[in-house]
Chain A
Amino acid sequence: MEIFDNLLMGLSIAITPINLMYLLIGASIGMMIGAIPGFGPSAGIAILLPLTFSMSPISAVMMLAAIYYGAMFGGTITAILLNTPGDSTTVASTFDGFPLAQRGRAGPALVMQACASFVGGTIGVILITLLAPIFSMVTRSFGPPEFFLLCVMGLLTLVALMSGNWILGLISALIGFALGTVGVDLETGHQRFTFGAVELIGGIHFIPVAIGLFGIGELFYAFYNGAHKSGSGGIIQYQNESRFWPTKQDLIDCKYTMPRNSILGFVIGIIPGAGATIASLMAYSLERSLSKNPEKFGMGEMRGLVAPESANNAASSGAMVPLLTLGIPGSASTAVLLAAFLMWGLRPGPLLMEQNPEFAWGLISSMYLGNMALLVLSVFAIPLFVYIIKAPYRILAPLVLVVCTLGTFSVNASIVETFIMLAAGIVGFYMKRLGFSPAAVVLALVLGPMAEESLRQTLLISRGSFDIFFIRQASVYILVFFAAIILGGAFLNSQRRRDKLKENTV
């Protein structure tokens, strides 16, 4: 029972008044940062990093990690209430989160997402506690070929998003891919479509595009529909005020959704690179394909919100596995944490957990406490957010516009990105009016460059041969898994069609 001894030791370190205080501060800051569109966890951690130099490393890392997973809790709030994902990881949460809010179920949606986040985060920490060294094997077997296959899986989920209109969906995805080609080409170092602008060397970032297409586009659309003329609650019909808590049916519907997508999210989160984004998308499409009523997804289905939420929170725990067991940063946020480890004189790597057990186990134990604290904080904060949303639209809309603009500008202090956001807002309005899919644009923008880079790396390594996908053990496993999902999906579909046919004939 070495694990329990370790965990107890960790808890004894985490539960000191001063550490608990830092943990709570981190969790609250994380939630707030997550709730501001554009302001992701990596920016939050990086800004607070210099303030932690005078703290003990354990207190500091507890606080910074709490900001990281706290932002995962907070990020969904704007995704649900304003259709504005704060980070690429919460794009999938807008698909059903916002329709739920529109249908007057903002309260239950927020409570359920907090629960899903808690379950996802906690299952993630349990898996770290019990199996971190085993899961680090996933990282050890993941090279560019496997990463490319994973990106393809993520891109396949686009199909699920396009169910409405194939052609418009496809055009949307192609726009996203096109935007993704802007910037310096990794292989040759040449600039692509930057037109000499230094601001575009690094490519078009996801955040301004997503905030524009979703948040600002939605605002314009609401104005177009005359929401500012009505007395209150423009975008969201908040009629059923009494129903703050989710119904029993919501909980019954989601009883398997949370655990299975948490595990999925955790495993994907371990892979350095796109972890939480791909995880949330895969969770969404997994849940959709397992559902008896896939047509309800996108119209405000609770499972469609709970699935990506459990997955992205579990993935943020998963990202701690390569960080703690190998010293490899899986995301921008964990890269900042890694820099902090070095500043504190730790040596991140396979020996970290052996050489600094108080540090590693203190952090892991604090994640249990942090997730609980965040659940409580959420339940207190949700009524506040719902209250804000009840403000008349003519007051709310300018505020949202200001917050989105400030959030986008502040991340890189870039006026160019602010203009990209506003331009994307106008495009987003027309996309919504004409039935294009903004979700397909941003996902293609995130996954397209990743897929391109990993495929080119793979082919450089194999010198142009596609055999590499069938030679490497891990690749073969993924391909088999792939085939199983596609065949399984096809089987479920035909089964469903047969059932429907039967119903119709009876």
Chain B
Amino acid sequence: MTTLKTTITTRPQVFAVACIAASSLLLAAPFAAADEYDPSKQLNVTIAFGPGGGNDVLARTLIEILDKYDLYEGDIVATNRPGGSGAVGWGYIYSQQGNPHHISTTSGSFIATPLQADTPWDTLDFTHVALMAADDQVLVVNAESSINTFEEFVEYAQQEPLSVGGIGSVNNDFIVAQLLSVEAGYEYDYIPFNQQGELTTALLSNSIDAMVATPGSIIGLIEAGDFRALAFSAEQVPEALEGVPSFEELGVADAAVPMPRGLILPPNVSDEARQWWIDTITEVVETPEWQEYVKANFLTENVLLGDDFTGFLETSINNFRTILTETGAI
């Protein structure tokens, strides 16, 4: 029931032609596959999380853009395969070795899950296409708090450890909170939560002293003056958070670990297919729809193509591994 079909070729005859073309190509596959990518075949989009989450919205936005600008000729079928913090969905993509007609979108769990669980796949096994945007974090306190700036926050924390909340214990929120404490030099207690709602409520009720969150989830409370933003992890601070210093400005740039919103293909996909997708994503991120998506969800514009994306993932994995080994989580 969670499968939705986006049909691009709606007219039956076009579809029939496409089918014939596809089947003839199948016959010629040994010769053709290595040379050219065939965007007329059905594209399978695997979403490793349930409907309605950040990863799902990203995948469906991408499909809409591919559809609207005719960037992909064939049918596009999106399937949610949630379970095991992405282990199930990306495990499925992993099983499609070499098949360039399967794609999937990534999130923080793409790095965290294989470190934490014994998954058959590893983050670096896949064919990395591009980082399309990044989900950055903001450090906030309740506006009733006497802490007004990041400097004050560090001062307070050095006198008496503060409690800082975030989502999960093997997750970007925790990594950022931990790196911040190391970089700025203070002690703190990390309080993990399962749901954003519970986390936000905990700060709102003054149960915790501060929290790390993505701006999209709490922007309304910041604008209304209920929460005070102290620091933002990316260099480029979104409009809605104007005046909030970036980690870089505060001298803690190394604490920034953005959540990757990117695109991957199964392992061992041909270079031609990878290049085709890199070119396509370059077009996708230029569209006004994509700009709007990035803005509406308070993401950070951050496009890294091909090997640059792989490099980005390697750095993130190292960050995660170092911290999680230190804290004993893995």
Contact = CB atoms under 8 A, between A and B. Distances in A.
A167 interface: no
B52 A139 contact: no
Nearest to B57: A339
Interface of B: 1-2, 4, 50-54, 56-57, 60, 64, 79-85, 87-88, 91, 113, 116-119, 163, 168-170, 189-198, 200-202, 204-208, 216, 218-224, 226, 240, 292, 296-297, 324, 328-330
Given A143-B207, A189-B116, 12 more contacts: A47-B1, A140-B201, A189-B168, A328-B201, A335-B197, A339-B52, A342-B297, A349-B221, A410-B1, A410-B2, A414-B82, A461-B191
A140 B220 CA distance: 15
Nearest to A146: B205
B220 A348 contact: yes
Contacts of B56: 46
B235 to A, nearest CB: 23
Contacts of B198: 144, 147, 272-273
A185 B169 CA distance: 9
Contacts of A194: 117
Contacts of B87: 198, 201
Contact of A42 (B52, B118, B206): B52
A175 B224 CA distance: 45
Nearest to A42: B52
A466 B144 CA distance: 25
B130 to A, nearest CB: 22
A142 B207 CA distance: 8
Interface in A119-156: 139-147
A50 B60 contact: yes
Contacts of A330: 197
A181 interface: no
Given A457-B191, A461-B207, A144 B224 contact: no
B52 A189 contact: no
Contact of A139 (B201, B219, B222): B201
Interface of A: 39, 42-43, 45-47, 49-50, 53, 139-147, 184-191, 194, 196, 198-202, 272-273, 322, 326-331, 334-336, 339-340, 342-343, 345, 347-352, 410-414, 416, 453, 457, 460-461, 463, 472, 474
DSSP majority for the B interface? mixed
B220 A335 contact: no
Contacts of A328: 196-197, 200-201, 204
Contacts of A329: 195-197
A349 B225 CA distance: 10
A413 B87 CA distance: 14
A199 B83 contact: yes
B324 A143 contact: no
Given A45-B52, A143-B207, A352-B220, A202 B60 contact: no
B50 to A, nearest CB: 7
A455 B135 CA distance: 30
Contacts of A410: 1-2
A350 B204 contact: no
Contact of B51 (A47, A186, A350, A351): A47
Contacts of B297: 342
B208 A198 contact: no
Contact of A186 (B82, B113, B168, B204): B168
Contacts of A413: 2, 79-82
A328 B116 CA distance: 29
A410 B195 CA distance: 23
A460 B195 contact: no
21 contacts: A43-B1, A49-B52, A143-B202, A143-B207, A188-B169, A189-B329, A198-B118, A201-B83, A201-B85, A201-B87, A202-B85, A322-B201, A327-B218, A339-B53, A339-B57, A350-B221, A350-B224, A351-B224, A413-B82, A414-B82, A414-B83
